[in-house]
């Protein structure tokens, strides 16, 4: 027991998560602070400005669909111009196939993207999270692995139910009355 840490290893995990969150939040905040000068430099209109850094998505939700779409497209173009990686459908399909062929694991597209985030030359263990059941993306996954992806019982039961749609005006009293 000579190699034992002088403190509980859980505190190391807490510290790593804390530092990661601090960097992530600051990176998000920095982007919203640095993006307006980029907009000015390229002569874009003000609808592309991101919401002030507030820790919530209230401003994002309040924007119109057109403003959100403009922001997404322009952000994509900016990231692409900076050489930041984007994964295409072919890469995701290859990752799904690789996970199935090498490990027998049926992955959904989101999980495959997480898998693609692991550096190829990594020698140790890696961790990535599955974010959805592959049956949610059967039309994508089944042709890749050339096998049927069965629906979980709970999902099959849910999909078999009759759909009920009730339209209401986008007002809080209408929602309250419905609930």
Rounded to an integer, what is the distance from CA 109 to the centroid of its chain?
Answer: 11
Q: What is the pLDDT of residue 122?
A: 75
Highest-confidence segment of 1-5, 10-14, 53-57? 10-14
Residue showing tokens 């939700």: 61
- The pLDDT tens digits for 82-133 are 655 567 788 899 999 999 999 999 999 988 988 887 877 777 888 888 878 8
CB atoms within 10 A of CB 115: 19
Find out whether 32 and 50 touch, Cβ atoms under 8 Å.
yes
Q: List alpha helices for the chain, DSSP H.
A: 9-42, 58-62, 65-81, 89-103, 109-116, 138-145, 153-160, 172-178
Distance CA 33, CA 46 (A): 14
- The pLDDT tens digits for 42-66 are 666 655 555 444 444 444 455 555 6
Q: Rounded to 5 degrees, what angle do the CA atoms 141, 145, 149 make?
A: 55
More confident residue, 25 or 126: 126
What's this model's pTM, rounded to 2 decimal places? 0.48
Q: What is the DSSP letter of 134?
A: G
- The pLDDT tens digits for 27-37 are 556 556 566 66
């Amino acid at each position: 027991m000579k190699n034992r840490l002088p403190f509980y290893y859980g505190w190391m995990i807490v510290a790593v998560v804390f530092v990661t969150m601090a960097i992530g939040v600051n990176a998000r905040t920095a982007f919203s602070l640095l993006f307006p000068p980029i907009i000015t430099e390229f002569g874009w209109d003000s609808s592309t400005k991101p919401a002030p850094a507030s820790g919530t998505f209230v401003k994002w939700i309040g924007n119109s669909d057109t403003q959100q779409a403009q922001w997404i497209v322009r952000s994509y173009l900016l990231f692409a111009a900076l050489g930041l990686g984007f994964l295409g459908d072919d890469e995701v399909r290859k990752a799904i196939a690789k996970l199935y062929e090498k490990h027998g694991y049926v992955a959904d597209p989101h999980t495959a993207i997480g898998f693609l985030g692991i550096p190829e030359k990594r020698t140790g263990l890696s961790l990535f999270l599955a974010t959805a059941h592959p049956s949610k993306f059967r039309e994508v996954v089944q042709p890749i692995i050339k096998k049927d992806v069965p629906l979980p019982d709970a999902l099959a039961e849910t999909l078999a139910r009759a759909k009920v749609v009730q339209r209401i005006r986008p007002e809080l009293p209408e929602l309250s009355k419905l609930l």
